[in-house]
Structure 1
Amino acid sequence: MKRWICKVCGYIHTGNEPPERCPQCGAPKEEFRLLEENESAVDQIQSDQPAEFRQEVDVLVVGSGAAAFSAAITAKNEGCSVIMLEKASEIGGTTRRSGGGFWIPNNRFQRKHGIIDNREEALKYMVRYSYPHLYQPEAERYGAPQNEFALIEAMVDHGAEMTEYLENIEAFKLIEQINWTGKLQVDYQDHLPENRSIRGRVLFTQDEKGELTYGYALINSFKAWAEKNDIPILVDHRVTKILRDESGRAIGLEARNKGKLVSFSAKKGIIFGSGGYSHNPELMLHFQRGPIFGGCSAPTNTGDFVRLGGAIGAKLGNMSGAFRAQSVFESVLENPDGSNNLFFIPGDGVIEVNRYGKRVMDEKRNYTDRGMVHFVWDPNRAEWTNMLLFMVFDQRTAELWQGDPPYPMAGSIPPYMITSNTLKELGIAISARLEKLRNKTGGFALDEHFNETFAETVQTFNGYARTGVDSDFRRGDFAYDREWTTYPPTQPGGVQWPTDMSKNYTMAPLSEEGPYYAIILASSTLDTNGGPMINQHSQVLDYEGKVIPGLYGAGNCIASPTGNAYWGGGSTIGPALTFGYIAGLQVAKS
């Protein structure tokens, strides 16, 4: 039997072929090398040492997404020499794939529209949502732990400051988001009593025409600034080791570039913005709180900072956390590294049911919170009851919102879509599809009484749609439901929407006649958000809570200040930009 060594971490695999990914560090199979018959893995690692430092700069930044660019640009603008090291062959990380919005409380656009975003009310909302089990409105720090609260304070105090700083140096140009109702965009938990300033916290970049742009445009704007201001971005550089001096200070990095080890020295500090671990199967299995299928983060997000930071004593936090979503299960199986997430459940004549044929939530809630519904555990049956959910809709909904994922354009039936002429036949078809997938799901199947319960569920929902009141899950009671995840048909074809009879346009009765459709949904990630813990200055902490000198972090690679919450649209990029900015300022002062 052959032995293969991972050139990144030294893991040894026995088999005729290398694994698709290293189970230890997540490196792809191309990073494995065949060991000679009598060759020692230890000898290989010891002999594969870098030469002298290739280059010395003030600041090294790992990654090239929102957090990394924010840090690099800030440090450069503060007078530091900077090099960025990117693991992939192209820049942008997960940010390039994203919608590109970022959540920033008390920003200048809110003030322009006369919205007063009170600091204490923002802090209350963020603690309440991130740490509901600890929240006490009258307690010190509202019940949050000291370091976690300090991070939330830093987000509130420096987020708007960051946007104005980066705008002033022309790293980007911003615009507020106005939703389809003509109002400033609303927060995801607009109905919580702690959330008093529910509008206007979501910002985007704008193009030369003044139009709102997305994640790729944010990255392109940052890249242009970096090129204009001489920040080298070295792609295909996978960082393999943090170098320290005798005092324990981080002073440099080793990286692998096309099979060769190179090293870099940092006089002031090292900032990681390298992404989470969504594409590291071992870390996902051992740290995530339930079954996860795929994620839309960059395929290179394999938890490098978890391994590298842990190796030098960084304290880990929020390791079970992630920014979540639902995904089209069968598309994930076909393309695990692709973007299969469902940010919205479009339309009105649509519900989600579990294997027992029951609705389990307000289908219009935000993607992170919907993603967590899949983690319900039944102690009697010893099962993940909602591991897979079934999105069910009628022909009318499919036609009106055609082309809006996951609905196909009219006349197309993608492989992941199940169709039948009656609801009973649809249940039978779902069951047959699950049988074909049983080796991928642990034998997950519909309950024997699914069809009877499912028929009752549809009848009940149709009644709610006619009265306008969802007595089970309050769908449509919240501004978020009505303004963000429900919107006019993309292909109305002359159809009036909503109808004059509609009492709650987030719901419409499923048609009395088929065809009907179903799509299997699973929980997935935008990216994980656990890793080395930082303080309010973006400095990485050790297990005693002390700063590791010279080492900083921001973005999805660190223990996120959000916990398990998604405060509003852009709650991934907002903190990433803010703590990258803080890191850039802090390292420049060191």
Structure 2
Amino acid sequence: MKREPILDCDVLVLGSGAGGLAAAVTAAARGLRVIVAEKEAVFGGTTAWSGGWMWIPRNPLATRAGIREDIDAPRTYLKHELGAHYDADKVDALLERGPEMVAFFERHTAVRFIDGNRIPDFHTTPGAGAGGRSVCAMPFDGRELGPLIDKLREPLSVTTIKGMALASGQDLAHFYRATRSLKSALYASRRLAAFAWHKLRYGRSMHLVNGNALVARLLKSAADRGVDLRTHAKAIGLMRDAERVTGARVEIDGIVHEIRAARGVVLACGGFPHDPARRAQTFAYTPSGREHWSAAPLCNTGDGIRLGETVGAHFDQTLDAPAAWAPVSLVPQAGAAAIAFPHLIERAKPGVIAVTRAGRRFVNEASSYHDFISALLDTTPAGDEVCAWLICDHRFQRRYGLGFSKPRPFPVGPYLRSGYLKRGATLEALAHACGIDARALADTVAAYNPYAKQGADPAFHKGSTPYNRVQGDAAHRPNPCLAPIEAGPFYAVKLLPGSLGTFAGLATDRDARVLDRSGAAIAGLYAVGNDAASMMGGCYPSGGITLGPAMTFGYLAALSLADAAPDAARAGVDSSSRTMQ
């Protein structure tokens, strides 16, 4: 292949999710020359498909709302949640520097946040918070990106309404209530009308929300700071001298470039959710590496991790779990592979249960997506297919939808004809259609219903925690997560083990410097996002524990790179005492 002249920069970022872009923007704000190399045609990685929430306790938005907590509260929570996986250095880096990261992006970039002051942590262990620990990107007008909007990854299609993404909270709630509330119907009508105009005029929605808004705001900030943003740019090898990583060989539009990075390289390639070989190595239940369906983009194939290993980086898989588990269902696509739909919301609503093929419940359905699959893995006998079924009645499907199948006024027929949904006039008929033990399913529902009418669940305590209740239906009483399953026809959708991303990754320190097997930093090499081993040790204590650390450690990596002059970078510099206000 033809070689182009060498490109020079101070910082080379490989990948363009939240962690990589946070590093790029921060480094550029410190006056460094930055190149972002994204192998896909679009920027955003998994972040662009995500909910966009970041777990940042003691953040400025919470403080401005009068929510003040001592740092020992979230620290105590993580000590109980992470147990033997608790890393004091990284925890303190997140808790001490995360609020600073939010303040920096608010003051110096196009990133604006909304608060999660009513969003509780997943669990109720000591130190758990009832709110004030998370932020999300404020919705963004995509037209502000100019031509760059064409290089923004669109939201995951199956989680949208014909391409229109909905934000969590009131945006989504209005659509759920649209057939029962005039106010919500008017709100939904306005949103749909604006979306229709955007599709006609621009070919996509310009009202960006969730992780899509976060990426858009970071891209705008990067462009404003003069970051060189490259697509179709795949790293094929790191370059190093006797002392440090000095850059990378990157194939851009079919031509290999040598990009020299005077300060260092940041790996931010999204982990390995679509690398079957690495999955077989790390996922105990996938002997071939193919018994798993990730909702992350197909391009996340472990490139960054393999690049790191070529220069001696340590791949850390000694975690509680190797990935951020999530139940998914497979949505058939005409002439194409099925798409994994992540079940993040409807499991907590009143009137749905999850059962195994044996027809028995196995989990509090309103628990977090990670806990749900952890329970399914624990209950599935070795050698059996890991799967479950969500079961509901007609009322539930029409009110809340079931997975990819939308609620009223959307017709249910297409989901039945494609085979995505199963339906039965009776529970017995539904069980036969799904291959579930019919007698056991009938017994399970018969035992569940009387308690559900009373708002109780002595078997699994659905609706018993703040997180359960905030995910349920606040208008339903007495328990926002419980209702009987009574009137047919009945519906089911098959759930399979999936993930939102991987936790196992390259070992790093509190500045995101990549470590070798001896624990020494590899000079000039950093890893953020899912290329780095999760600082939570494979545990999942709250929503946003992927993006919060990704943004924070991307910020800290950039500070370390900025404060390490080329000669100093050879030895590595600790940025723990440095800030950027």
SS in 1 for 2:522: strand
Partners of 2:3 and 2:255 within 8 A in 1: no
In structure 1, runs of 5+ residues without a counterpart are 1-47, 135-143, 179-183, 432-445, 489-496
Which residue number in structure 1 is paired with residue 248 of structure 2? 253
How is 1:79-478 mapped onto 2 (pairs within 5 angstroms)? 79-131=31-83, 134=84, 144=85, 148-177=87-116, 184-189=118-123, 191-195=124-128, 197-207=129-139, 213-247=209-243, 249-291=244-286, 292-318=291-317, 321-329=322-330, 331=332, 338-344=339-345, 345=347, 347-376=349-378, 382-384=382-384, 387-402=386-401, 405-409=404-408, 410-413=410-413, 414=415, 415-431=419-435, 446=436, 450-478=437-465
Partners of 1:273 and 1:553 within 8 A in 2: yes
What is the CA-CA distance between 1:355 and the residue it aligns to? Answer: 1.3
Cα separation, 1, equivalents of 2:478 and 2:13: 53
| Matching residue within 559, 566, 575 for 1:585 | 559
Cα separation, 2, equivalents of 1:110 and 1:100: 17
Partners of 2:463 and 2:480 within 8 A in 1: yes
What is the CA-CA distance between 1:151 and the residue it aligns to? Answer: 1.2
Cα separation, 2, equivalents of 1:157 and 1:86: 30
TM-score (norm 1): 0.78
Which residue number in structure 1 is paired with residue 472 of structure 2? 486
Change over 3 Å in CA distance of 1:404–1:356 after alignment to 2: closer
Q: Higher mean Cα deviation, 416-425 or 565-574? A: 565-574
Cα separation, 2, equivalents of 1:336 and 1:419: 23
- Whether 2:527 is the aligned partner of 1:553: answer yes
Cα separation, 1, equivalents of 2:16 and 2:338: 19
Partners of 1:289 and 1:375 within 8 A in 2: no
Cα separation, 1, equivalents of 2:455 and 2:503: 38
SS in 2 for 1:383: coil
Cα separation, 1, equivalents of 2:333 and 2:98: 34
What is the CA-CA distance between 1:258 and the residue it aligns to? Answer: 3.1
Change over 3 Å in CA distance of 1:377–1:231 after alignment to 2: same
Change over 3 Å in CA distance of 1:156–1:289 after alignment to 2: farther
What is the CA-CA distance between 1:329 and the residue it aligns to? Answer: 3.7
Cα separation, 1, equivalents of 2:55 and 2:96: 13
Partners of 2:403 and 2:493 within 8 A in 1: no
One-letter identity of the residue aligned with 1:370:
F
Which residue number in structure 1 is paired with residue 499 of structure 2? 525
SS in 1 for 2:301: coil
One-letter identity of the residue aligned with 2:368:
N
- Whether 2:459 is the aligned partner of 1:507: answer no
Which residue number in structure 2 is paired with residue 539 of structure 1? 513
Cα separation, 2, equivalents of 1:86 and 1:559: 21
Partners of 1:236 and 1:257 within 8 A in 2: yes
Which residue number in structure 2 is paired with residue 569 of structure 1? 543
In our comparison, the structure showing a higher alpha carbon Rg is 1
Cα separation, 2, equivalents of 1:316 and 1:479: 36
Runs of 4+ in 1 over 6 A off after TM superposition: 208-212, 332-335
Cα separation, 1, equivalents of 2:428 and 2:46: 41
SS in 2 for 1:59: strand
What is the CA-CA distance between 1:456 and the residue it aligns to? Answer: 1.1
Deviations 1:397-456 (A, max 9, x none): 11111487444544323121000101111111112xxxxxxxxxxxxxx4xxx2221111
Partners of 1:296 and 1:337 within 8 A in 2: no
| Percent identity between the two aligned chains | 28
Cα separation, 1, equivalents of 2:242 and 2:134: 45
Cα separation, 2, equivalents of 1:347 and 1:334: 33
Partners of 1:296 and 1:526 within 8 A in 2: yes
SS in 2 for 1:376: helix
Cα separation, 2, equivalents of 1:356 and 1:464: 21
Partners of 2:341 and 2:403 within 8 A in 1: no
Change over 3 Å in CA distance of 1:235–1:68 after alignment to 2: same
Deviations 1:326-361 (A, max 9, x none): 101455999668451111225311100011111001
In structure 2, runs of 5+ residues without a counterpart are 142-166, 172-207, 565-581
One-letter identity of the residue aligned with 1:156:
L
Larger helix percent:
2
TM-score (norm 2): 0.79
SS in 1 for 2:212: helix
SS in 2 for 1:348: coil
State the aligned residue count. 488
Deviations 1:238-257 (A, max 9, x none): 1111111022x000101122
